[in-house]
Structure 1
Amino acid sequence: MSAIQASSSFAPVLIVAGPTASGKSALALDLAEAFDGVVINADSMQVYKELRVLSARPDDSEIARVPHRLYGVLSGREACSAGKWREMAMAEIADCHASGKLPIIAGGTGMYLNALTEGIAPIPDIPARIRDQVTTELEELGHAAFFAKLQADDPETAANLDGSNTQRLIRAAEVFAHTGRGLASWHKEPVITPPENMKFKKLCYMPPRDILYDRCNRRFDLMIEQGAIDEVKGLLALELPETAPVMKAVGVREIAAYLAGEIDLATAKKKSQRETRRYAKRQLTWFRHQMLAKEIIDAQYSESLAAKMRHDVNQFLLTTPK
């Protein structure tokens, strides 16, 4: 199909969302071929170059079919926040519009999608050295003392935090350390919203749960065959702190336990499959609450369903909002 014509009144962006193992990446690929699009990653783990297998990044044959962006672009030593991802995604979207391509955002990380479509607080990006300092401080002090320090520094933010949630504690502390202001204070600032001419078409693909869970189970078996164990070996060789976002990917902890001789491979696979299903369930719940009913596609994939989605996208592109 011909290239899109972005204008001062209409800059279209297609979002293909859904839980892990749903088939959203394949759907995004099909739509990119149909509408001369570029697939832009919105998965918080697929941004890391060390997680090609465990994050189920598109393979070489898929990348050869249509352009893909923001896949494997960051080192595991970096932390990719919603703000950092949004900045990268907006640059890719602008490049698509300038070249007449349809930007297709594909992923299941809800906070990334919300940052793009709803806006985000203008919190400065946190330097890696600050994050490392805060992480080291947490390890030295322990959760209780670290949380007590945060309560003293930033009581407003700490009042709404679970003292055992490591990631949220680090986030709150690093923002305060870098800016001298708490997260709660930053969240009172006007959000950075999308340009007025940017219009979103959302497709949230959520196949029946029994099909989704079966895909979750089969996907991890395939990951083992494709080299997930060696991938985790390479990741562990970086000696990253356990709090690093890349270390939170489903399967990393379980395979690491297998490599350490703590569990056998069958147990590692079983635990990883269970965690994948749990993650998918959380995503399903999030999308049910965040997406409009008309944006959710909960039928099993078929050619007729694909044809309907192509029709809906075509109507979106042909109908310029007033």
Structure 2
Amino acid sequence: MGPTASGKTDLAIALQEHLPVELINVDSAQIYRQLDIGSAKPDKATLAVAPHRLINILDPLESYSAADFITDATREMAEISSRGKIPLLVGGTMLYFKALLEGLSDMPPADADIRAEILKHAQDFGWASVHEQLRAVDPESAASLHPNHSQRIQRALEVYRISGVPMSLLRSEPNVGSVAQSYNIKQIALLPNNRKLIHRRIDIRFRKMMEAGFEAEVRALFQRGDLHADLPAIRSVGYRQIWQYLQGQCSLDEAVEKGIIATRQLAKRQITWLRNWPSSCEIQVDNETELLSINNICQLALKKLPVAPIYSRNMES
């Protein structure tokens, strides 16, 4: 686990040289086909050497929930384990990690018609109006959400309209779906000492994405005609800002700056999650003045993994 641009994917690939691991993606943008450059998805050459499960599994028109992730991840973990390998989950979507480790309340499945009604109301009257609708039926959930948290507001209102029960009440019930009892889980969190170093890497990476054709990638999605700004895929960091440019809401330079700022804000949220994460082994990815090499980070990770001496492929016996 770790904030964006902290080197998670590079570490996971490096660990393949030492452990019999197979990788499972835990990134809510990389699950989508056609979201390649802006999601920092490993390229084809990298995936050929280090295949990632749960990458490119959905069209951007589709939605994907934490419950869907639990179902897919547990299936992949079981298959990997059945062959004597170690499932290695890598990504920055903290909600997916939390759901997998702790389980979820028994929520009703999504309803496409109700979701469409909520989205139509949001398009006509704005998400602040939807937030007020939620406040009327589930004030506890509404109080925990900012009016800009469109996806979470949508889901909370959807749950109420399907079940007639506030999501806040359903969440008070015992969770289901946790894998904590089925696996010996080791959690590694990559964290920076100096956030300015991560911010600099984010800036450089975003501009390299633009040079690699990120605007053209989003334009191709925009020109499909069946996608819109309220879809989870299009709301992904970076995609949302370039989409706004294509809608004429800002210049391309402004979209780039907004994208960099949004990515920094994402990293801040991820770091906050991880600082309060129980049972994780923290690895500092910098020494205050520079980011550590992946080889150094890998060696630090191996020291924190009790299975490393047993499974290391570099050992003679």
Name the TM tier (shorter chain): 0.7 to 0.9
| Partner residue, 2:26 | 42
| Distance of 1:309 and 1:99 partners within structure 2 | 24
TM value normalised by structure 2: 0.85
Write the mapping of 1:96-107 to structure 2, written as runs, cut at 5 A: 96-107=80-91
Which one-letter code corresponds to 2:42 in the other structure?
P
| Partner residue, 1:223 | 209
2:293 matched to 1:273?
no
Write the mapping of 1:1-322 to structure 2, written as runs, cut at 5 A: 17-143=1-127, 145-155=129-139, 157-158=141-142, 160-163=144-147, 165-192=149-176, 193-194=178-179, 196-207=181-192, 208-236=194-222, 237-292=224-279, 294-299=281-286, 300-302=291-293, 303-315=295-307, 318=310
Which one-letter code corresponds to 1:219 in the other structure?
R
Gaps of 5+ in 2: 312-317
Which one-letter code corresponds to 2:79 in the other structure?
D
| Distance of 2:309 and 2:158 partners within structure 1 | 42
Q: How big is the shift at 1:195?
A: 5.0
Which one-letter code corresponds to 1:277 in the other structure?
R
Q: How big is the shift at 1:231?
A: 1.3
Tell me, yes or no, if the aligned pair for 1:32 and 1:104 is still in contact at 8 Å.
no
| Distance of 1:280 and 1:159 partners within structure 2 | 24
Tell me, yes or no, if the aligned pair for 2:229 and 2:243 is still in contact at 8 Å.
no
Tell me, yes or no, if the aligned pair for 1:32 and 1:39 is still in contact at 8 Å.
no
| Distance of 1:295 and 1:100 partners within structure 2 | 27
Q: SS in structure 1 opposite 2:188?
A: strand
| Distance of 2:297 and 2:242 partners within structure 1 | 37
Which one-letter code corresponds to 1:115 in the other structure?
A
Which one-letter code corresponds to 1:96 in the other structure?
I
Describe the superposition over 1:217-263 as per-residue Cα deviations: whole angstroms up to 9, x where unpaired. 11111211222112111222344332221122222233234334554
Describe the superposition over 1:10-30 as per-residue Cα deviations: whole angstroms up to 9, x where unpaired. xxxxxxx11111111110111
- What fraction of aligned residue pairs are identical, expressed as a percent? 34
| Distance of 2:147 and 2:208 partners within structure 1 | 37
Q: How big is the shift at 1:55?
A: 0.4
Please provide the CA RMSD for this pair: 2.5
TM value normalised by structure 1: 0.84
Q: Bigger CA drift: 271-280 or 43-52?
A: 271-280
Tell me, yes or no, if the aligned pair for 2:11 and 2:297 is still in contact at 8 Å.
no
How many matched pairs? 303
Q: SS in structure 2 opposite 1:247?
A: coil
Q: SS in structure 2 opposite 1:220?
A: helix
